[in-house]
């Protein structure tokens, strides 16, 4: 068992260091890209429904904006830490670079549990977050988006507060908005569909038909649900999903070896993706421990929940049948586990490529908002497919050419693009 505490930022820096060595980056560029350019820590005093005041800790980290305005979500999570936000902001920089959209990397977070906050309290928190950082974000500076436990309604409250403060209409300030209020059609599906666009290309490369595969999925939030939807449409079968149970404060895996019924599961899930245990049992699902998803006898694993899911503690439990892992979550695999997967010859589609559909569609939303002209869903998803496929092929070609692991190839492309932008600007 590993006794070393997990730190997402240390992991992100270790991944960067490896890429920097492969690229032989100079020291100044390493120093610039290894840590955020700016970060903000603030306290948000909120009057609760019972009249008491509570103070919430919040963050915004802007890692690098050499290629364009910062881009990155805002998380509401009780275990949020500034190191996690730093890591996610760095991964956002590489994610935007690998799909070649003209944006940089940022991330935000508030330490809170939205499950235990009323809608009014959540609105107050959203507006307070914007007030705290209003001068340092905006359509040409840093563009937030939804992330873990935030949604289109939260984004709209934030947009309204930003526009009130600045006295104008700035729909390009934030993405993930409701359709009809500056949001893009296809945005809801984008991250999950993007995972499957890259998965489809990987299966082509491996010479495997989607209809001949089964998958286990960790998570049942937005990303997981739409990944399952499109994966089933191309012929695949999902046999289990794992999700967090707020009531029991632990995760469970729900398995049906005949294949999960996505429509039925959606009906018994709350807005955070937690399944009703009794209703799942009535539908014939076995309830297993939360980490049982990783040891299922399937061809594909899709970790689509939180970081630190595949570790040196559990990686050896992965079935010998598994050929492919598509990382729908950010940072799900630790470097130690990565080494094991590489040795096993498992094809890994790294997180900042696999789940870049969200930021790619956010970019398309931003473009539409800024020009006040909106596209139909099929046009948005068509553009997304083209961009994700091109990014996958570029990474795959680099991996073959330099005989690299897919994650290392993706890092090489992304870090090289950002380093070049910094050099061209005279920053390094």
Cα 234-149-317 angle, rounded to 5 deg: 55
Helix (H, G, I), strand (E, B) or coil at 171: helix
Burial (CB count within 10 angstroms: exposed 0-12, middle 13-18, buried 19+), residue 115: middle
8 Å CB contact between 84 and 148: no
CB 81 within 8 A of CB 7: no
Tokens of 153: 């309604």
What is the pLDDT tens value at each position of the chain, 428 positions in all?
445 678 989 989 999 999 999 999 999 999 999 999 999 999 999 999 999 999 999 999 999 999 999 999 999 999 999 999 999 999 999 999 999 999 999 999 999 999 899 999 999 999 999 999 999 999 999 999 988 889 999 999 999 999 999 999 999 999 999 999 999 999 989 999 999 999 999 999 999 999 999 999 999 998 999 999 999 999 999 999 999 887 888 899 999 999 999 999 999 998 778 999 999 999 999 999 999 999 999 999 999 997 789 999 999 999 999 999 999 998 899 989 999 999 999 999 999 899 999 999 999 999 999 999 999 999 999 999 999 999 999 999 999 999 999 999 999 999 999 999 999 999 98
Measure the CA–CA gap between 315 and 334, rounded to whole angstroms: 10
**Domains identified in the chain and CATH numbers:** 37-184 (3.40.50.10860), 188-354 (3.40.50.720)
H/E stretch holding 72 reads strand 70-77
Tell me what percent of the chain is helix, strand and coil, each rounded to the nearest 5.
50, 20, 30
Q: Are 64 and 14 in contact (CB under 8 A)?
A: no
- Counting beta carbons within 10 angstroms of the beta carbon of residue 403, is it exposed (0 to 12), middle (13 to 18) or buried (19 or more)? exposed
107 in catalytic set: yes
Q: ∠ CA 308-197-338 to the nearest 5 degrees?
A: 30
C-alpha 293/C-alpha 428 separation (Å) is: 45
Task: Specify the pLDDT at position 331.
Answer: 86
Q: What is the DSSP string of 9-68?
A: HHHHHHHHHHHHHHHT--HHHHHHHSS-SEEEEEEEEEE-TTS-EEEEEEEEEEEE-TTS
E strand intervals along 86-209: 104-111, 142-146
The whole-number pLDDT of residue 4 equals 64
**Catalytic-role residue among 18, 71, 95, 107:** 107
The C-alpha R_g of the chain, in whole angstroms, comes to 21
């Amino acid at each position: 068992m590993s006794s070393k505490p997990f730190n997402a930022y240390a992991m992100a820096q270790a991944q960067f260091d490896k890429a920097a060595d492969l690229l032989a980056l100079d020291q100044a560029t390493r120093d610039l890209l290894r840590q955020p350019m700016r970060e903000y820590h603030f306290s948000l005093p909120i009057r609760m429904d019972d009249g008491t005041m509570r103070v919430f800790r919040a963050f915004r980290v802007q890692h690098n904006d050499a290629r364009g305005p910062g881009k990155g979500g805002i998380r509401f999570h009780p275990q949020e830490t500034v190191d996690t936000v730093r890591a996610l902001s760095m991964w956002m920089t590489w994610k935007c670079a690998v799909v070649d959209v003209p944006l940089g990397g940022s991330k935000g977070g508030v330490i809170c549990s939205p499950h235990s906050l009323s809608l009014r309290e959540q609105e107050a928190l959203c507006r307070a977050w914007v007030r705290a950082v209003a001068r340092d974000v905006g359509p040409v500076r840093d563009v937030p988006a939804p992330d873990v436990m935030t949604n289109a309604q939260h984004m709209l409250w934030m947009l309204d507060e930003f526009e009130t403060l600045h006295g104008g209409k700035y729909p390009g300030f934030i993405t993930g908005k409701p359709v009809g209020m500056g949001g893009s059609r296809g945005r809801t599906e984008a991250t999950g569909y993007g995972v499957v666009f890259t998965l489809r290309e990987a299966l082509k490369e491996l010479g495997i038909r989607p209809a001949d595969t089964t998958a286990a999925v960790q998570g049942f939030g937005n990303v997981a649900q739409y990944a399952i939807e499109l994966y089933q449409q191309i012929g695949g079968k999902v046999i289990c999903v794992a999700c967090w149970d707020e009531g029991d404060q632990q995760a469970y895996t729900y398995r049906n070896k005949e294949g999960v019924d996505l429509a039925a599961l959606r009906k018994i899930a709350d807005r955070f993706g937690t399944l009703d245990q009794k209703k799942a049992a009535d539908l014939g699902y076995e309830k297993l421990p939360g980490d049982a998803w990783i040891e299922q006898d399937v061809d594909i694993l899709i970790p689509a929940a939180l970081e630190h899911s595949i570790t040196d503690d559990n990686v050896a439990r992965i079935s010998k049948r598994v050929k492919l892992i598509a990382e729908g979550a950010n940072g799900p695999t630790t470097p130690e586990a990565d080494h094991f997967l590489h040795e096993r010859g498992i094809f890994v589609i790294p997180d900042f490529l696999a789940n870049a559909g969200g930021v790619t569609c956010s970019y398309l939303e931003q473009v539409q908002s800024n020009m006040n002209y909106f596209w139909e869903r099929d046009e948005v998803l068509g553009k997304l497919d083209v961009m994700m496929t091109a990014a996958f092929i570029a990474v795959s070609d680099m991996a073959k050419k330099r005989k690299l692991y897919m994650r290392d190839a993706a890092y090489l492309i992304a870090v090289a693009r950002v380093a070049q932008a910094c050099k061209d600007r005279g920053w390094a």
